[in-house]
Amino acid sequence: MVVEMRRKAIVLIVLVLIFLVLPFLVSGFWVRLVTGIFMFAILASALNIIAGFTGYAAFGNMIFFGVGAYTTAVLMNKLKFPFFTSLILSGGVAVLLAIVLGLLLLRLKGHYFALATLGAAEAMHQIVNNLTDLTGGGQGMSLPQMRGSPFVLNLFFYFLMFFFLVLITFLVWRLSKNRLGYAFKAIRANEEAASVMGINTTYYKIYAWSLSGLFTGFTGAIYAYWFTYIDPPTVFDVMMVVKMFVIILIGGAGTVFGPIIGAFILESISELVWAKFINLHLGILGTIIMLVVIFMPNGIIDLVTKKRSFKGIIKYLRENKL
């Protein structure tokens, strides 16, 4: 056991070191690509907290991304706030939203919850779209550009995203072992039993969603500053959340490193497909999504460790289907 942990720790440290030096070794294109992967990893990890751990499939989680992005955009553009202040405030707004939405929606279960969050996200999308004076409406909004050479900018956003990725991964790692995480997992396993055993389910569900919203909001804020331009359809895009779910599925729901692994795999395939098959890119993505759901509902690690052959998988599906 200890040897295994030691080995894992070494792998982890090596990876972190690689990521720390990577941007100095490769071109800007790759740095930006990896930054994007980090972003999806954070988003998927954040979703994992409410969906994977606590069992509430928040299909509308992009609401926090959009709100985070727009809060930063408005603060920096209209009120001339500096970036880091805007970042923190965006996180705060996201948490407040999570609490309000949580009080309203977390009483719903399963499909109804998923649908309600989707509806809320779309409603927010429309609201932002219509508040033209504040947000620029459908035209979108631009942010002040950060000063510096492209090289420095790439580095800045790379390390910023990496920092938040490390932060959330550490948080989730703690959750997998601590009392708070137990509460989340119990709620997912059997909410009624959890309640009877002393877990204040309302409080913990909102806590989970707030954590999820916080990091999703932070990411949205960083995205806004990074791309210097945002518009409602992009930052409130439901496909973002679908990708997050696929990433979680690939990596394994409720695991610590699953979302990171999943993000790397999905985004790499995505890039490859975009580069070579641009016309079929959506179709291939859709097919991948469906294949992942069918063949890897427990994550790729599960698939690999159980050494399922193709025949084995089909047999397993047949037995479990109806």
Partner 1 sequence: MSDGNIILLGKGVTRTFGALRAVWNVDFEVIKGEILGIIGPNGAGKTTLLSMINGTLPLTSGSIRFKGKEISGLKPHRIAELGIARTFQIVKPFPGMTVLENVSIGALFGREKLKNVREAQEKTEYILEKVQLEDKRDVAVENLNVSERKRLELARALAMGPELLLLDEVMAGLNPTEIERIMELIVQVNNEGTTIMVIEHVMKAIMGISHRIMVLHHGEKIAEGSPREITNNEQVISAYLGERYVKKRQGVK
Partner 2 sequence: MLLQAIVNGILYGAVYATIGIGFSLVWGVMNIINVAHGSFIMIGAYLSYTLFAVYHIDPFLSIPVVMLVLFLIAYAIQKYVLNLVVRGSVFITLTFTFGLQILIANICLLIWSADFHSVKLSYSSLSFQIGSVIIPYVRLGIFLVAILLTLLFYLFMRKTKIGIAINATALNLEGAKTVGIDVGNIYAITFGVSAALAGAAGALISPIMSINPFVGGNLVGKAFVVAILGGLGSTVGALVGGLVLGLVETVGTIFISSSYQELLGFVVLVLVLIFRPQGIMGKRFY
The contact set with partner 2 (CB under 8 A) reads 51, 57, 59, 104-105, 107-108, 110-112, 114-116, 118-120, 122-123, 126-127, 129-130, 238-239, 242, 245-246, 249, 253, 279-290, 293-294, 297, 317, 320-322
DSSP letter (8 states) at residue 190: -
Residue 200 site contact among partner 1, partner 2, none (CB < 5 to 8 Å, cut-off depends on kind) = partner 1
* Nearer residue to partner 2 within complex by CB, 196 or 278: 278
The distance of Cα 99 from the centroid of its chain, to the nearest Å, equals 18
Residue 139 site contact among partner 1, partner 2, none (CB < 5 to 8 Å, cut-off depends on kind) = none
**Of 293, 262, 321, the residue nearest 45 (C-alpha):** 262
Q: Which two tokens stand for residue 187?
A: 């709620």
> Nearest approach, Cβ of 285 to partner 2 (angstroms)?
6
CB-based contact 205:109 (threshold 8 Å) = no
State how far the alpha carbon of 239 is from the alpha carbons of 118, 138, 178, 183, 317, in Å.
11, 19, 32, 30, 27
Amino acid found at 174: R
Find the helix packing angle between 2-25 and 150-175, rounded to 10°: 160
> Nearest approach, Cβ of 88 to partner 2 (angstroms)?
29
- Other Cβ atoms within 10 Å of 169 Cβ, number: 18
Using only the alpha carbons of the chain, give its radius of gyration.
20
Residue 197 site contact among partner 2, partner 1, none (CB < 5 to 8 Å, cut-off depends on kind) = partner 1
> Nearest approach, Cβ of 30 to partner 2 (angstroms)?
27
* Nearer residue to partner 1 within complex by CB, 141 or 253: 253
> Nearest approach, Cβ of 55 to partner 1 (angstroms)?
10
**Of 21, 54, 88, 40, the residue nearest 267 (C-alpha):** 40
> Nearest approach, Cβ of 233 to partner 2 (angstroms)?
10
* Nearer residue to partner 2 within complex by CB, 41 or 246: 246
* Nearer residue to partner 2 within complex by CB, 122 or 191: 122
Contacting residues toward partner 1, per CB under 8 A:
177-179, 182-183, 185-186, 188-190, 192-201
